[in-house]
Structure 1
């Protein structure tokens, strides 16, 4: 049986994908996550919505544990986390678990590393390309309606596939992300 000291140990492994080093990409990512978690689109993530979203990602959390962690971030009178509350919660978790994770020497190298990590999420078979099936699988895992329509997924691939080979390589992915970064 584990001692209390073992139970209360902090997570010490660092994940370069938890916090993107580009503030504009991080803000865009957080807004998209918030929008995904806010299932009914009312501008608040309730504990139930958060629990459902975490379950879809394979992270089953006990509702009472989740409540004790998240409740202090919900402003009085609100039904759940608004975007600012969600950002504060994310920053606290990031600072708590990943503070001082500055192992990359330059902002460009950090951005490149973040993009490589993001690319790996979509490139499920590790062949260096994102095909329509892989993109659809990730969209479905995230609960996005686009994941249910292969035709829509194929159009998404075509929109960034510069060399017209029917899949997205890392170079095409980087170009797409730079465009997203410039828009935000």
Structure 2
């Protein structure tokens, strides 16, 4: 998969989050994933590293200027509450309001997300592909193939051992809660 550069000055059609806000549990998981050293703060460096691991390169100074105003004085990075405020701000100001999104646009966004996992481009997410992405993100869930296979089985409605786009879309609809 080639490197893709993202711009933080204008929305990218392939990286907009137009679905309803993530529920607080999922947002907390994202925060914890970015907080590599476990100090309950996300630094600009940690966010930059996570974006790079996902193959989404951004200029450090752009990330820093975006995040800086959300870091409270005296803190090294974003506390969880600051991260939530940043998420809400980006959702409202940068990515647009979810209620204005038509189904075709949502499908386009989900297809872009699906392609991140479908590394070989065959239209299916295998356990091995999911394991690779989880590994890139540094998630321990991806360390054991059996765990990853169980994740696949939990959304594999046709029992073929793979996740196709429709199964992925249904999984996303069930895990993203309205704000």
TM superposition score normalised by structure 2: 0.72
Indicate which of 106, 110, 115 corresponds to 1:111. Answer: 106
1:16 and 1:153, CA in 2 relative to 1: closer, same or farther beyond 3 A?
same
1:61 and 1:28, CA in 2 relative to 1: closer, same or farther beyond 3 A?
farther
1:164 counterpart = 2:159: yes
CA RMSD of aligned residues (A): 3.5
Aligned to 1:85, what secondary structure does the other structure show? helix
> Retained in 2: the 8 A contact 1:131–1:166?
yes
List 4+ stretches of structure 1 deviating above 6 A.
Answer: 26-29
Corresponding residue for residue 4 of structure 2: none
Corresponding residue for residue 134 of structure 1: 129
> Retained in 2: the 8 A contact 1:21–1:107?
no
> Retained in 2: the 8 A contact 1:20–1:111?
no
Using CA pairs under 8 Å that are at least 6 residues apart, name the structure with larger relative contact order, 1 or 2.
Answer: 2
Indicate which of 26, 39, 44 corresponds to 2:41. Answer: 44
Indicate which of 155, 170, 177 corresponds to 1:175. Answer: 170
How far apart are 1:89 and its partner, in Å? Answer: 4.6
1:57 and 1:111, CA in 2 relative to 1: closer, same or farther beyond 3 A?
closer
Structure 2 residues without counterparts, runs of 5 or longer: 1-6
Corresponding residue for residue 19 of structure 2: 22
> Retained in 2: the 8 A contact 1:19–1:94?
no
- Looking at structure 2, the residues matched to 171 and 150 of structure 1 have their Cα atoms a distance apart, in angstroms, of 23
1:120 and 1:54, CA in 2 relative to 1: closer, same or farther beyond 3 A?
closer
Larger radius of gyration: 1
How far apart are 1:61 and its partner, in Å? Answer: 5.4
Structure 1 residues without counterparts, runs of 5 or longer: 1-8
- Looking at structure 2, the residues matched to 121 and 30 of structure 1 have their Cα atoms a distance apart, in angstroms, of 19
Give the count of matched residue pairs: 170
- Looking at structure 1, the residues matched to 129 and 30 of structure 2 have their Cα atoms a distance apart, in angstroms, of 19
TM superposition score normalised by structure 1: 0.71
